[in-house]
Amino acid sequence: MTQQTIRFVLDEQIVEVDFREFPHLTPTTTVLNYLRSFPTHKGVKEGCAEGDCGACTVVVAELNDQGKLVYKALDSCLVFLPMIHGKQLITVENLAVKANGEQMLHPVQQMLVETNGTQCGYCTPGIIMSLFGLYKNHHQPSREIIEDALTGNLCRCTGYQPILEAALKVCNNQGKDHFSAREKETIALLTSIRENKETIEIRTPAQTYFKPFSLSETFRIRSEFPEATVINGSTDVALRQTKKKENLKEILDLSAVAELKTWEENKSEFVIGAGLSLEQLKYKIKGKLPALHHILTVFGSLQIRNLATIGGNVGSASPIGDLLPLLFVYGACVVLRSSSSERILPIGTFLTGYRKTELHPDELITEIRIPRPGPDDRIKSYKVSKRKDLDISTVSGAFRILTVDGLVSEIFIAYGGMAAMTKRAIKTEEFLRGKNWSRAVIEEAMPFIEEEFNPISDARSEAEYRRKVGKNLLLKFYVDTTQS
């Protein structure tokens, strides 16, 4: 059985969209464009249409496993409309309320006014929504948490200091507001939507969109439509439509499959569901995989990490993917499943070329498995980019070493941005094994990096710059592992 409509909560009521009745809407209409079609939701703005500026930020509230509401800031330019099925969509227009005939600003809005945190106003609605997400999730947050919440919002006028001051002053009320007062009613509305677990199947003349709720149903669709574009967070795929104007004919949306959002750890490994968001992963691995936690702190923005998944990052096979070099040196494996089989491949085997993998047409990535590092392993990951936050890597490097009595027992070196795919520096590793872990030996090894990699020149850098960065990252790893 299937359902052909999507349902979500907007303006405190359930909205039902039947795409057969709205020919101007398609399954890949973004939430941004949907909202902009209404005269009452013009606060959401399009600045970049690729998740870089934050002018389109909205907040969605969804039910977690305990039946409680969780609030997440998202870039609405990257979210296809069916992805918000079963969620509450909140825009800047929903924050203020009327009381006794007067409009009462939300605490976040009021504090931004009091700290003079806005000028031209174009970016302000998105900033307000990011601060609203912060307000609902953090009580008396540190400056670090506040800055992280705002990395996805660009402001060219005011500067960030008044905005930071507003956040520091307002997040002291346990997130209480008219949304918390209506929480029971909202939970009841979302629960009524969630009761229907039939697959959503939307067919239009140009597109077919599937949104299953179970893994078994997902495999059925995958086997019947092997050419369908698989999405979960859509932070990469959405750009094919918004920037390249590509028509995505068949789409398999995994964002509602709870069986892919799992997390398990045991004595030997961490088992991460492919659908776990990068923000959830960042929270789970804190204090357990420090290098991975570090790289996630400079991965995109909070809005991006709330959408993007580890399975999507691996499956995209990007040569500049921030996580892939680190997964190489961790010795991670990718679990591939179909309706009738399961394969477990080392990540180096899974990736075969530029944007190419060993994934078969009937398979899906279901898990990423990371072996627990040894107690004496030293692991670091570095990202070189023009900006610290919300930027694509020019070069990324990950390193892992085990030394015994000052000699290199094991070493793993992997780079992104240096070849058509993430690649290990095999010759450099072979040269270093068994030698003293010393600066003199490192300087002998650095020329091997130039021999092993032949990077391209592009808009981000020249090839020569990439070679020098690759060598210098090896030296940086040595310094970081030898300084007290």
Amino acid making up residue 340: S
At the top level of CATH, the class of 261-482 is: alpha beta
In this structure, are residues 192 and 86 in contact, taking their beta carbons and an 8 Å threshold?
Answer: no
Taking the C-alpha atoms of residue 226 and residue 251, their distance in angstroms, rounded to an integer, is 10
> Where do the structural domains in the chain lie, given as residue ranges?
2-94+181-253, 107-176, 261-482
Q: Where are the beta strands (DSSP E) in 150-287?
A: 199-203, 208-211, 229-231, 250-253, 263-265, 269-273
Q: Alpha carbon of 161 to those of 108, 116, 158: distances in Å?
A: 15, 10, 8
Helical residues (DSSP H) of 243-323, grouped into ranges:
278-284, 290-297, 302-305, 310-315
What are the backbone dihedrals phi and psi of residue 26, each rounded to the nearest 5 degrees, phi first?
A: -125, 165
Phi-psi region of 8 (alpha: psi -120 to 50; beta: other; left: phi over 0): beta
Judge: domain 107-176, CATH 3.30.450.20: no
Q: Alpha carbon of 66 to those of 69, 187, 243, 281, 284: distances in Å?
A: 9, 11, 38, 19, 17
CA diameter of the chain:
78
- Helices 143-150 and 161-170, interaxial angle, to 10°? 120
- For 301-335, write each residue's pLDDT tens digit: 999 999 999 999 999 999 998 999 999 999 999 99
Phi-psi region of 45 (alpha: psi -120 to 50; beta: other; left: phi over 0): beta
Q: Residues in the chain with pLDDT < 50?
A: none
CATH fold, domain 2-94+181-253, is Ubiquitin-like (UB roll) (3.10.20)
Closest by Cα among 265, 312, 258 to 289: 265
